[in-house]
Structure 1
């Protein structure tokens, strides 16, 4: 059972997908939910009728995705240090070579409305866990790649707020959300702490229409909604680690939470997608 602890009390969530190897990096676009399964190297699309189908395959761990303003699927192939683009015939083409600006493992990708994509690099190689700083690169629409921000401790989920003028980056190992001003060329300036989360460990994130941020927390098995400054507004608790979340549904008020019982890539098929109703909708349109 999923318990949503917020100002309105408690409610149950609905299981949307179950039995995935490692669910992560969900995205909502045009009435459909996209969910990568890192363990299987597959991207699932759940349509309006609730049916799931595999729409892309790429052997990568991590395997994060996003969609651009035209609905084109972009995938991070961490092992080959490439940002891939799905063509109309379903094949994958190289959109950008990330190796010129850094090294794997590559993690999350976020695409802005002008086609600029930000991709973060964790900063250490699995499975040694040696904490070294990571960074964010900006991939321009022409495929050129530049280093946009450095010294991030396990950069994870990203979101755009303030009319897409501010990029938020979850720093898992610093237990905070870091903000940057977005330059017209996709570069990042004005680094600052947007929210100190105390003991919170942010993974995937999503923004809502009030400028607040939901972040998934693996060790705490919950998703937390915070405003700038770190005030906690709502909490969704589950029975397994929460790795990411996205707002969607017909009215934007469904929070899709992805998670699993974390014991490493070989844990087994405990990946699950849950849908819970929340009060504030997500940001409409492309990222």
Structure 2
């Protein structure tokens, strides 16, 4: 596949989404949420100095975005940015990625431990924020829950576990309740060990940001492999897009007018002390055959 450069000059791009003819993307260390045209023109829409990440759209069209370091969800209605949910009491680490279902339930995970500070890796929970503002822990013992996909029929929530070598699936009901927890894709044994380095060395695919397609597959940013892979149910890798030498891939999204443009968020690594002072992150695109489906 041929890769084209859409945008340069980021610190660490994450949470890419396609919405109404534009890409939307967060940049951790610039503290921005931007709209990016298909020709690569960036417009900063929001400033979130507490580190923005995943985002989604509520049924009324407003944007909800993760504020990582203070563990809040923010809501932007087009003019005002306000706290939508305060999740610190439910988190063991930085708040991370999210997905919103058709009824407006927001599912969001956290790191589970102090990743950048050298903390001991541990499990994390998945939280659901309902339209009335109530917060419920809907799943526990997830190994770094990260990017998520809701299937096109709305019946299944897929959660990537970065340090679990897997995707976990849940049945998703209209009221936002989850059931029938199971492994949807398994890339290798569950890693063991008490340090980040030990875990990283055992990862076959480290699911990060992801996006679903119309054949029920998931394009996955492999945070340790320098690539995005298209994964079939069960875990078989059926396609692969490799980043240029020296870059990792940390999130991806399908979009474009026909849903067949795959956007990759790339940077040399994911370490805050390396990424914060420089502007080496890039957005790359390529074309795929099967279009986007599902959420986000």
Distance 1:236 1:68 in 2: 31
Per the normalisation by structure 2, the TM-score is 0.88
**SS of equivalent residue, structure 1 residue 206:** strand
Tell me, yes or no, if structure 1 residue 258 matches structure 2 residue 265. yes
Q: Which residue of 2 aligns with 1:278?
A: 288
Alignment of 1:196-207 (within 5 A): 196-198=186-188, 199-207=204-212
Shift of the alpha carbon at 1:68? 2.6
Distance 1:271 1:50 in 2: 14
Q: Which runs of 5+ in 1 are unaligned?
A: 5-11
- Among 17, 34, 47, which residue is 1:57 paired with? 47
Distance 2:147 2:52 in 1: 13
Larger mean CA deviation between 144-153 and 125-134 belongs to 125-134
Q: Which residue of 2 aligns with 1:224?
A: 229
Shift of the alpha carbon at 1:49? 5.0
Distance 1:70 1:47 in 2: 23
User: Structure 1 92/103 Cα, relative in aligned 2: closer, same or farther at 3 Å?
Assistant: farther
Deviations along 1:40-90, one digit per CA (max 9) or x if unpaired, are: 10011013554210001111235322223443211111222211101332x
Deviations along 1:217-243, one digit per CA (max 9) or x if unpaired, are: 122100000110112211000121100
Larger mean CA deviation between 60-69 and 216-225 belongs to 60-69
Q: Number of residues paired by the alignment?
A: 275
Alignment of 1:164-175 (within 5 A): 164-175=154-165
- Among 90, 96, 115, which residue is 1:101 paired with? 90
Q: Report if aligned partners of 2:18, 2:24 keep a CA contact under 8 Å in 1.
A: yes
Larger mean CA deviation between 268-277 and 184-193 belongs to 184-193
**SS of equivalent residue, structure 2 residue 146:** strand
Deviations along 1:99-143, one digit per CA (max 9) or x if unpaired, are: 353344110011111111101011001322411101110011111
User: Structure 1 103/93 Cα, relative in aligned 2: closer, same or farther at 3 Å?
Assistant: farther
Q: Report if aligned partners of 1:62, 1:106 keep a CA contact under 8 Å in 2.
A: no
**SS of equivalent residue, structure 1 residue 181:** strand
